[in-house]
């Protein structure tokens, strides 16, 4: 892959892209929601399929000339249905939020009640945050995690469900390291006659590899993004029971989106094919192992890991013992070439703009081929940086160590810039 045309035609944009490629190459990326898509996926999403208007669905489009994009969308739908054993799929959502919006628009009326996880305890913006459409259109009741165990308090979820009778219950989070008990959510939803939506955006790759329970067996609706653990192009998709197919299709188009991004849908199809391979399953296993190693190392270093560990690709580190905020920690780490995000810990005494923790994820470093030895080294680097954040000499040394480490595990050796 090269950029020879762009370089000539638009040197300014080429320069921004080149710098970003080099940043990704030379940084230890530990943001849990990011990954590094394959060259096959990058090629599909940069193809001339971007030129095609295809409002509608395969074999039922508003414009002519859709024969071949139909092939791509059909392949994407078949592959994702088979990957997650789902009866129905819609691969057109531009993002996870659009996927959630389409599900909500297909079964809810404005003013209906939804029960979802509190953002402060690990939930997601599109599950009812007051500034998001979901919080503006619906009456939102939130559940959190237990103060002691930092696990979802299913007793609280049931109690809230019985009290407020939500029409939709949402399970799924962006900063919850543990396995979510979908069968318990199903039981609660059934007790109050609610629909269940599982947003598996974060852990979809682990589900595809059989390392996390498959929510399709429990929920009427399952939404996800393709670019997190699933390691595909940026975008979303919806899985559901067949009886909801018409309602979801029309909630998405013409309800909230116009022409689908056919180049991205083709790249999603490639992602779903890659996710069926043994190599992908082995990759997800290493993602999980690396995350568990991080937890053990941080605990050995005397730090507290939220909920005591992880069952997934992410962990939350409580920094209060070191006496540094999540915001300061992420800035210190960025200066030495490590990217993380500040994150609230459950029942955080600090505001979201500061936060007491950081979220760490292993999808990207595992894609680069890093394993136990490197994770142990990175844990030490993070610990030393955060405990010596005012010692520039130590930080300079750690930055060199990060630089040497990333050079040994190139991210995109075949991209010519
Ligand atoms: N922004 C994503 C995350 O980092 O978890 C969720 O959409």
3-state secondary structure the chain: CECHHHHHHCHHHHHHHHHHHHHHHCCEECCCCCCCCCHHHHHHHCCHHHHCCCCEECCEECCCCCHHHHHHHHHHHHHHHHHHCCCEEECCCCCHHHHHHHHHHHHCCCCCEEEEECHHHCCCHHHCCCCCHHHHHCEEEEECECCCCCCECHHHHHHHHHHHCCCEEEECCCCCCCCCCHHHHHHHHHHHCCEEEEECCCCHHHHHCCCCCCHHHCCCEEEEECCCCCCCCCCEEEEECHHHHHHHHHHHHHHHCCCCCHHHHHHHHHHHHHCCCHHHHHHHHHHHHHHHHHHHHHHHCCCEEHHHCCCCCEEEEECCCCCCCHHHHHHHHHHCCEECEEECCCCCCCCCCCCCEEEEECHHHHHCCCCHHHHHHHHHHHHHHHHCCCCHHHHHHHHHHHHHHHHHCCCCCCCEC
Predicted confidence at residue 77, as pLDDT, reads 98
Q: How confident is the model at residue 39 (pLDDT cuts 50, 70, 90)?
A: very high
- Provide the domain count of the chain: 2
Q: Is 372 inside a domain boundary? A: yes
Predicted confidence at residue 130, as pLDDT, reads 95
Predicted confidence at residue 175, as pLDDT, reads 97
Predicted confidence at residue 1, as pLDDT, reads 87
170 and 68 co-located in one domain: yes
Angle at alpha carbon of residue 329, lines to 327 and 331, rounded to 5°: 75
Predicted confidence at residue 37, as pLDDT, reads 98
Q: Is 140 inside a domain boundary? A: yes
Q: Is 413 inside a domain boundary? A: no
Predicted confidence at residue 111, as pLDDT, reads 98
132 and 267 co-located in one domain: yes
| Domain termination residue (choose one: 250, 274, 298) | 274
Residue 382 phi, psi (nearest 5) = -60, -45
User: Does pLDDT of 406 surpass 90?
Assistant: yes
Average pLDDT over residues 279-285: 98
94 and 210 co-located in one domain: yes
Predicted confidence at residue 159, as pLDDT, reads 98
| Domain termination residue (choose one: 219, 254, 274) | 274
Among protein residues, the one with the nearest Cα to ligand 1's atom 5 is 174
Predicted confidence at residue 179, as pLDDT, reads 98
Ligand 1 atom with minimal separation from the 225 CA: 7
| Domain termination residue (choose one: 274, 289, 324) | 274
- Strands 304-305, 314-318: pairing is antiparallel
Residue 412 annotated to the active site = no
pLDDT averaged over every residue in the chain = 97
141 and 257 co-located in one domain: yes
Predicted confidence at residue 218, as pLDDT, reads 98
201 and 222 co-located in one domain: yes
Among protein residues, the one with the nearest Cα to ligand 1's atom 6 is 174
Predicted confidence at residue 225, as pLDDT, reads 98
Mutate to test the pocket of ligand 1, among 121, 124, 132, 341 (most ligand atoms within 8 A of CB): 124
Give the Å distance between the CA of 174 and the centre of ligand 1. 6
Q: Is 339 inside a domain boundary? A: yes
Predicted confidence at residue 277, as pLDDT, reads 98
Mutate to test the pocket of ligand 1, among 201, 236, 358, 360 (most ligand atoms within 8 A of CB): 201
Average pLDDT over residues 7-28: 98
195 and 287 co-located in one domain: no
Q: Is 361 inside a domain boundary? A: yes
85 and 229 co-located in one domain: yes
Average pLDDT over residues 312-318: 98
Residue 61's CATH number: 3.40.640.10
261 and 310 co-located in one domain: no
Residue 55 annotated to the active site = yes
246 and 288 co-located in one domain: no
| Domain span at 228 | 42-274
User: Does pLDDT of 362 surpass 90?
Assistant: yes
Q: Is 7 inside a domain boundary? A: no
Residue 362's CATH number: 3.90.1150.10
Average pLDDT over residues 227-241: 98
Q: How confident is the model at residue 54 (pLDDT cuts 50, 70, 90)?
A: very high
115 and 134 co-located in one domain: yes
133 and 51 co-located in one domain: yes
Q: Is 4 inside a domain boundary? A: no
Residue 234 phi, psi (nearest 5) = -70, 120
Q: Is 266 inside a domain boundary? A: yes
114 and 181 co-located in one domain: yes
């Amino acid at each position: 892959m090269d950029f020879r045309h762009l370089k000539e035609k638009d040197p300014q944009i080429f320069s921004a892209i080149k710098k970003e490629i080099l940043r990704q190459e030379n940084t230890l990326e530990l943001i849990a929601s990011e990954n590094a898509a394959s060259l096959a996926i990058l090629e599909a999403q940069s193809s001339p399929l971007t030129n095609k208007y295809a409002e509608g669905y395969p074999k039922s489009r508003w414009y002519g000339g859709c024969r071949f994009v139909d092939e791509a969308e059909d392949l994407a739908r078949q592959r994702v249905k088979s990957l997650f054993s789902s009866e129905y799929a819609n691969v057109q959502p531009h993002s996870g939020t659009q996927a959630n919006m389409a599900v909500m628009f297909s079964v809810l009326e404005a003013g209906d009640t939804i029960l979802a996880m509190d953002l402060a305890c690990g939930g997601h913006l599109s599950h009812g945050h007051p500034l998001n459409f979901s919080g503006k259109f619906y009456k939102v009741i939130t559940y959190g995690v237990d103060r002691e165990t930092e696990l979802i308090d299913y007793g609280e979820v049931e109690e809230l469900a019985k009290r407020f009778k939500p029409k939709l219950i949402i399970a799924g989070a962006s900063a919850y390291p543990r396995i979510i008990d979908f069968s318990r959510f199903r039981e609660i939803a059934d007790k109050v006659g609610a629909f269940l939506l599982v947003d598996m955006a974060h852990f979809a790759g682990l589900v595809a590899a059989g390392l996390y329970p498959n929510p399709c067996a429990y929920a009427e609706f399952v939404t996800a993004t393709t670019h997190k653990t699933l390691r595909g192009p940026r975008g979303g998709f919806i899985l559901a029971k067949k009886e909801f197919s018409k309602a979801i299709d029309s909630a998405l188009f013409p309800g909230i989106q116009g022409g689908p991004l056919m180049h991205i849908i083709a790249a999603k199809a490639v992602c779903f094919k890659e996710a069926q391979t043994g190599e992908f399953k082995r990759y997800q296993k290493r993602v999980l192992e690396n995350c568990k190693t991080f937890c053990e190392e941080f605990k050995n270093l005397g730090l507290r890991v939220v909920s005591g560990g992880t069952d997934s690709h992410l962990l939350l580190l409580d920094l209060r013992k070191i006496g540094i905020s999540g915001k300061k920690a992420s800035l210190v780490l960025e200066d030495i070439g490590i990217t993380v995000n500040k994150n609230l810990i459950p029942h955080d005494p600090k505001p979201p703009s500061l936060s007491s923790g950081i979220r760490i994820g292993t999808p990207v470093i595992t894609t680069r081929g890093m394993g136990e030895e490197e994770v142990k080294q990175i844990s030490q680097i993070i610990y030393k940086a955060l405990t010596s954040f005012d010692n520039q000499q130590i930080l300079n040394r750690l930055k060199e160590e990060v630089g040497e480490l990333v050079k040994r595990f190139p991210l995109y050796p075949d991209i010519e810039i």
